[in-house]
Structure 1
Amino acid sequence: MFVIVEGVILYLSVVSNIEPSLVKYLICLVMSYFSNIVLVKIPLKYVGLRCLYIISVATFYLLVVLRSLDSFLILVKNTLVTFLLTRWMASKYMPFVNFFLIMGNLAIHNIYNYFYPPTMKFDTTAIHMILVIKLTSFGWSYFDGTSAKPESLSVYKRSKAVKKHPSLLQFMAYTFFYPTLLTGPSIDYIEFDDWLTGNIFKDYPTSNLAYVPHNWKLSLKKLIKGLVFLLLAGISKTVISEDKLNSKKAFLDRSFIYKIHYLYLLGFAFRLKYYSAWTTAEGACISSGIAYNYYDKDSHSIVWDRMSNIDIWTFEAAQSSYVSIKSWNIKTNNWLKNYVYLRLCNDNEKPTFTATLITFAVSAFWHGINPCYYLTFLTGALYQNCGQYYRKYTRPVFLLGDRVTPSKYKWIYDFIGFYMVKLLFGYLMQPFILLDFSKALEVWSKVGYFGHICVVITYLLFKGPLSTSFKHKCLDHHPVAVSNRKQLNSDSHKLKTLPKIQIELGMKLGSQSQIYFGIPQKYIYEWTEILDEWDIFVNDYSEWKFQNGLELEEDNLVAAFFTFIEQFAESTSPIDPEFINRKKISFNVYSPSSSQNIIDLGID
Structure 2
Amino acid sequence: MSIDALFAPLSNATGVRIPEIKMVSTFLISYPLASLHTRIPKTRPNLAHLYNIAVSVFFIWPFLGMGAGMAHLMLDIGVTYGLVVGSRDRRMPWAVFGFVMGHLFLMHAHRYVFGLDENTSDITFAMMMMAQKLTMFAWNVQDGRTKAEDLDASQMATRLLHVPSPLAYLGYCFFFPSALAGPTFDYATYDSLILHKLYDQSPPPSSSSSKKSDTPAPRRIPYGRKRVAYLYLVLGVGFMGIFAAFGGQASFHRILTPAWDNWGWATRFAFIQFAGLVARTKYYGVWSFTEGACILTGVGFNGYDPKTGRTMWNRVRNVNIISLETAESFKVVFDNWNCRTNVWLRDCVYKRLVQKGKKPGSMQSMATFLTSALWHGVEPGYYLAFLTAGLIVSLGRQMRNYVRPYFLPPSSAPTSAPNSFPQYPYPNTRKRIYDILGWLVVQANLNYIVSAFFLLNLRDCIKAYHRMGWYSHILIAGSLVFFHFGGRRALRAGLPAQAGTGGKGKVKSGGKDKERLDVSTPRVTVEPPSPVDMPPQPREEVDSRDLKWVRHALENQQTGHEAEGMGGGAGFVDQVMKGTETPMVETPRYGRSGSPGF
* TM-score greater than 0.5 by the shorter chain: yes
Query: Size of the alignment, in residue pairs?
Result: 488
Q: Kindly tell me: are residues 138 and 314 of structure 1, through their superposed partners in 2, closer, same or farther at Cα, counting changes over 3 Å? A: same
Give the counterpart letter for 1:263 in structure 2: I
The corresponding residue for 1:104 is 102
After superposition, give the CA deviation of every residue in 1:219-253 in whole Å (9 maximum; x if it has no partner). 1111111011001001112432234223333x233
Give the counterpart letter for 2:158 in structure 1: K
- In the alignment, the residues of structure 1 paired with residue 63 and residue 230 of structure 2 have an alpha-carbon distance, to the nearest angstrom, of 22
- In the alignment, the residues of structure 1 paired with residue 190 and residue 89 of structure 2 have an alpha-carbon distance, to the nearest angstrom, of 25
Report the 3-state secondary structure (helix = DSSP H, G, I; strand = E; otherwise coil) of the residue aligned with 2:429: coil
Aligned with residue 337 of structure 1, among 337, 340, 346: 346
Which residues of 2 match residues 34-183 of structure 1 at below 5 A?
34-119=32-117, 120-147=119-146, 149-183=147-181
Aligned with residue 417 of structure 1, among 431, 434, 438: 438
The corresponding residue for 1:247 is 257
Report the 3-state secondary structure (helix = DSSP H, G, I; strand = E; otherwise coil) of the residue aligned with 1:303: coil
Give the counterpart letter for 1:66 in structure 2: L
- Do the aligned partners of 2:202 and 2:218 also contact (CA within 8 Å) in 1? no
- Larger displacement relative to structure 2 (296-305 or 441-450): 296-305
- Cα deviation for residue 13 of structure 1 reads 3.5
Q: Which is higher, the Rg of structure 1 or of structure 2?
A: 1
Q: Kindly tell me: are residues 17 and 383 of structure 1, through their superposed partners in 2, closer, same or farther at Cα, counting changes over 3 Å? A: farther
Which residues of 2 match residues 443-462 of structure 1 at below 5 A?
443-462=464-483
Report the 3-state secondary structure (helix = DSSP H, G, I; strand = E; otherwise coil) of the residue aligned with 2:304: strand
- In the alignment, the residues of structure 2 paired with residue 19 and residue 394 of structure 1 have an alpha-carbon distance, to the nearest angstrom, of 49
Give the counterpart letter for 2:499 in structure 1: P
- In the alignment, the residues of structure 1 paired with residue 225 and residue 491 of structure 2 have an alpha-carbon distance, to the nearest angstrom, of 55
- Cα deviation for residue 300 of structure 1 reads 4.7
Aligned with residue 278 of structure 2, among 269, 276, 279: 269
Give the counterpart letter for 1:464 in structure 2: F
Q: Kindly tell me: are residues 208 and 243 of structure 1, through their superposed partners in 2, closer, same or farther at Cα, counting changes over 3 Å? A: closer
1:231 and 2:241 aligned: yes
Q: Kindly tell me: are residues 312 and 208 of structure 1, through their superposed partners in 2, closer, same or farther at Cα, counting changes over 3 Å? A: closer
After superposition, give the CA deviation of every residue in 1:109-162 in whole Å (9 maximum; x if it has no partner). 111111111113211111000000000111111111111x21121112111211
After superposition, give the CA deviation of every residue in 1:29-79 in whole Å (9 maximum; x if it has no partner). 111111122211111110001111111111111122201102322222211
- Do the aligned partners of 1:9 and 1:24 also contact (CA within 8 Å) in 2? yes
- Cα deviation for residue 465 of structure 1 reads 4.2
- In the alignment, the residues of structure 1 paired with residue 54 and residue 243 of structure 2 have an alpha-carbon distance, to the nearest angstrom, of 32
- Cα deviation for residue 299 of structure 1 reads 4.4
Q: Kindly tell me: are residues 302 and 461 of structure 1, through their superposed partners in 2, closer, same or farther at Cα, counting changes over 3 Å? A: same
Which residues of 2 match residues 312-331 of structure 1 at below 5 A?
312-331=321-340
- Do the aligned partners of 1:397 and 1:477 also contact (CA within 8 Å) in 2? no
Q: Alignment RMSD, CA only?
A: 2.4
- In the alignment, the residues of structure 2 paired with residue 136 and residue 75 of structure 1 have an alpha-carbon distance, to the nearest angstrom, of 14
The corresponding residue for 1:575 is none
- In the alignment, the residues of structure 2 paired with residue 188 and residue 194 of structure 1 have an alpha-carbon distance, to the nearest angstrom, of 10
Report the 3-state secondary structure (helix = DSSP H, G, I; strand = E; otherwise coil) of the residue aligned with 1:464: helix
Q: Kindly tell me: are residues 253 and 353 of structure 1, through their superposed partners in 2, closer, same or farther at Cα, counting changes over 3 Å? A: farther
- Do the aligned partners of 2:83 and 2:92 also contact (CA within 8 Å) in 1? yes
Unmatched tracts of structure 2, length 5 or more: 204-215, 416-425, 514-598
Q: Kindly tell me: are residues 47 and 83 of structure 1, through their superposed partners in 2, closer, same or farther at Cα, counting changes over 3 Å? A: same
Give the counterpart letter for 1:44 in structure 2: K
- Do the aligned partners of 1:242 and 1:434 also contact (CA within 8 Å) in 2? yes
- Cα deviation for residue 14 of structure 1 reads 4.1
- In the alignment, the residues of structure 1 paired with residue 181 and residue 142 of structure 2 have an alpha-carbon distance, to the nearest angstrom, of 27
1:396 and 2:416 aligned: no
The corresponding residue for 2:556 is none
After superposition, give the CA deviation of every residue in 1:190-234 in whole Å (9 maximum; x if it has no partner). 111111111211114687866797722221111111011001001
The corresponding residue for 1:490 is none
Q: Kindly tell me: are residues 322 and 35 of structure 1, through their superposed partners in 2, closer, same or farther at Cα, counting changes over 3 Å? A: same
- Cα deviation for residue 16 of structure 1 reads 4.1
- Cα deviation for residue 431 of structure 1 reads 1.1
Greater helix fraction, Structure 1 or Structure 2: 1
- Larger displacement relative to structure 2 (43-52 or 347-356): 347-356
- Larger displacement relative to structure 2 (287-296 or 302-311): 287-296
Report the 3-state secondary structure (helix = DSSP H, G, I; strand = E; otherwise coil) of the residue aligned with 1:295: coil
1:434 and 2:443 aligned: no
Give the counterpart letter for 1:440 in structure 2: C
- Cα deviation for residue 303 of structure 1 reads 1.2
- Larger displacement relative to structure 2 (13-22 or 67-76): 13-22
Give the counterpart letter for 1:422 in structure 2: Q
Asked which structure has the greater RCO (Cα within 8 Å, sep 6+), the reply is 2
Give the counterpart letter for 1:123 in structure 2: D
Give the counterpart letter for 1:45 in structure 2: T
- Cα deviation for residue 175 of structure 1 reads 0.7
The corresponding residue for 2:320 is 311
Give the counterpart letter for 1:245 in structure 2: I
The corresponding residue for 1:194 is 192
Aligned with residue 201 of structure 2, among 189, 200, 203: 203
Report the 3-state secondary structure (helix = DSSP H, G, I; strand = E; otherwise coil) of the residue aligned with 2:311: strand
- Cα deviation for residue 421 of structure 1 reads 0.8
> What fraction of aligned residue pairs are identical, expressed as a percent?
27
- In the alignment, the residues of structure 1 paired with residue 13 and residue 314 of structure 2 have an alpha-carbon distance, to the nearest angstrom, of 33
Q: Kindly tell me: are residues 10 and 383 of structure 1, through their superposed partners in 2, closer, same or farther at Cα, counting changes over 3 Å? A: farther
1:372 and 2:372 aligned: no
Give the counterpart letter for 1:218 in structure 2: V
- Cα deviation for residue 255 of structure 1 reads 3.3
- In the alignment, the residues of structure 2 paired with residue 390 and residue 179 of structure 1 have an alpha-carbon distance, to the nearest angstrom, of 41
Give the counterpart letter for 1:399 in structure 2: L
After superposition, give the CA deviation of every residue in 1:89-113 in whole Å (9 maximum; x if it has no partner). 0011101111101101101111111
- Cα deviation for residue 462 of structure 1 reads 1.7
